[in-house]
Chain A
């Protein structure tokens, strides 16, 4: 036990002699505690996060019958099975159609509502905001039955239109509040100046606000895309024709097989993950501000 303080002071002396005066008195215990406090837990959590992803990649890219812990030699047989055999090429197109439509529709509707909230005072505004906030508590799963009845009445069952509509509806409240927070942060004087120069309100908006809104547009659009891409229950309830399936439904049918083809399941998972991961890579910079501005600060 006595050797430890000696080593400490020894290192300290060395450091001081080198001309760089350490801020902390004991650099080594400091570094050790940094490992225990920071890198250790981070590595553990990183493993918890990454092992499941890695497992999926191994099973997706490994040839059938292989028991190796690495996907080598690379094999694309599983992707051929899901893409051409199971029909993921169709599911993928359907999902892209739904997610892109939801992204565009949500962005337009949310910009309009967000602008109204940020720039106008009007009767009923308080109620409107309250309803937007309360929708955060409305569970999609609970509305399966009445929504099914509605979509049956307007003949949108087995139609991707039903998914576009309902996914947009569930994205709008958060998106509108996010937009409103963002627009409120842009000085009104910019628009005012443009309007004094003879622009109409819409022209002023396009000339001054729209260029500044790019981060908010990217964030809202990406959240909407991810939400729509991942939606499962509505697609399961409203779509029963296999050529209209979206990716999550297709994936759930792969899961539901009596003898699950695990290679195909993993490859399907990779197909489902790639677009979301790509969008996430773009949007994660805005995630921290975005979610808190929309969901917590209201």
Chain B
């Protein structure tokens, strides 16, 4: 059978995983992503820096113009709400990340065990992850409200007086917002930690068992070191996201009572949404960016994230 056309021999001598191909194809493929990110993420970030040096208030267009550092001077010297919101932000982020990490770790360890209907139970306890901030507010307002809430239901059963207006006291409002966000945020931590738990090599546990390690020792010397990388990165991502979390607080308390629950991003959002002071809002944004940047760098340094990698 000499009719067979000679098959062109593969150019590649040894099969390489990824072909080295030059040309336009990869650039065409990433072009939509690049254009969208450049136009709607990178350009806006750049313009925030520009606006922060301007007087730019939609309601007072006659004052618009170059302002130099006046916005920043006002922020640092004449705006107590900036400092207050900064403090609130720190408490908010620390509380959320620490509590979500502890509860998420526990939840992940629990649903990683074998038990009946595990898949269904996982879906159930993870489901608040899919709920939006506004919907979470709607649900928890029902629970917090003195006429419809849990306190009212308990008082019908004879427990408590039932007239607790949780959201109108500064301290209880802050705790209430934290609990509602935990409800939504713990599943995320649990999901990520669970993913990493499943990748712990089983022979490590066997080796630990052979050495006579107990449950706690297995957790302390096998599981925890394995999870370290994921925990560090999840904490960082979560800290940034909780820093930026506005939906839930904005709809639940609006930053009140008495601005006690106003975080820095919420303050920015109010500048944009209700005060229309784009210049000052942009200056607050720039400061927030810088805080996030410094925080991320310091966090990665302190936790020696790269050192833990192979």
**A interface vs B, CB < 8 Å?**
38-39, 41-42, 45-46, 48-53, 55-56, 59, 67, 69, 108-110, 112-113, 115-117, 119-122, 125, 128, 131-132, 135-150, 165-166, 168-169, 172-173, 176, 188-189, 196, 201, 226, 229-233, 236-237, 248, 251-252, 254-255, 260, 262, 265-266, 268-269, 272-273, 276-277, 279-281, 284-285, 287-289, 291-292, 295-296
Q: Which residues of A contact B15 (CB under 8 A)?
A: 189
Are the C-beta atoms of B45 and A143 separated by less than 8 Å?
yes
Q: Which residues of A contact B127 (CB under 8 A)?
A: 49, 53, 277, 280, 284
Interface assignment of B113: CB less than 8 Å from any CB of chain A = yes
Q: Which residues of B contact A229 (CB under 8 A)?
A: 132
Q: Which residues of A contact B145 (CB under 8 A)?
A: 260, 262
CB-contact partner of B288 in A140, A142, A144, under 8 A: A142
Chain B residue at minimal CB-CB distance from A272: B135
Q: Which residues of B contact A254 (CB under 8 A)?
A: 138
| Nearest CB on B from A262, distance (A) | 5
Chain A residue at minimal CB-CB distance from B252: A255
CB-contact partner of B20 in A109, A121, A268, under 8 A: A121
- Complex: A279 Cα to B240 Cα, angstroms: 26
Interface assignment of B107: CB less than 8 Å from any CB of chain A = yes
Q: Which residues of B contact A295 (CB under 8 A)?
A: 192, 237
**B interface vs A, CB < 8 Å?**
7, 10, 15, 17-22, 25-27, 29-30, 32-34, 36-37, 39-45, 47-48, 51, 103, 106-107, 110-111, 113, 115, 119, 121-135, 137-143, 145, 147-148, 150, 153, 156, 183, 188, 191-192, 194-196, 198, 230, 233-234, 237, 240, 243-244, 246-247, 250-251, 265-266, 268-269, 271-273, 278, 281-282, 285, 288-289, 292, 296
Chain A residue at minimal CB-CB distance from B42: A131
| Nearest CB on B from A278, distance (A) | 10
Known: A188-B18, A277-B130. A42 touches B121 (CB 8 A): yes
Are the C-beta atoms of A145 and B18 separated by less than 8 Å?
no
Are the C-beta atoms of B18 and A121 separated by less than 8 Å?
yes
| With A56-B142, A165-B36 already in contact, 11 other A-B pairs whose C-beta atoms are closer than 8 Å | A55-B143, A125-B26, A135-B41, A145-B48, A148-B278, A149-B47, A166-B40, A172-B36, A280-B123, A280-B129, A296-B234
Are the C-beta atoms of B140 and A49 separated by less than 8 Å?
no
Are the C-beta atoms of B183 and A276 separated by less than 8 Å?
no
| Nearest CB on B from A207, distance (A) | 17
Are the C-beta atoms of A255 and B126 separated by less than 8 Å?
no
Q: Which residues of B contact A146 (CB under 8 A)?
A: 43-45, 47-48, 51, 282
Q: Which residues of B contact A276 (CB under 8 A)?
A: 130-132
Chain A residue at minimal CB-CB distance from B128: A49
CB-contact partner of B135 in A69, A119, A140, A248, under 8 A: A248
CB-contact partner of A269 in B121, B138, B156, under 8 A: B138
- Complex: A118 Cα to B78 Cα, angstroms: 52
CB-contact partner of A145 in B51, B237, B288, B289, under 8 A: B51
Known: A46-B121, A272-B132. A116 touches B30 (CB 8 A): yes
Are the C-beta atoms of B272 and A237 separated by less than 8 Å?
yes
Q: Which residues of A contact B130 (CB under 8 A)?
A: 226, 230, 276-277, 279-280
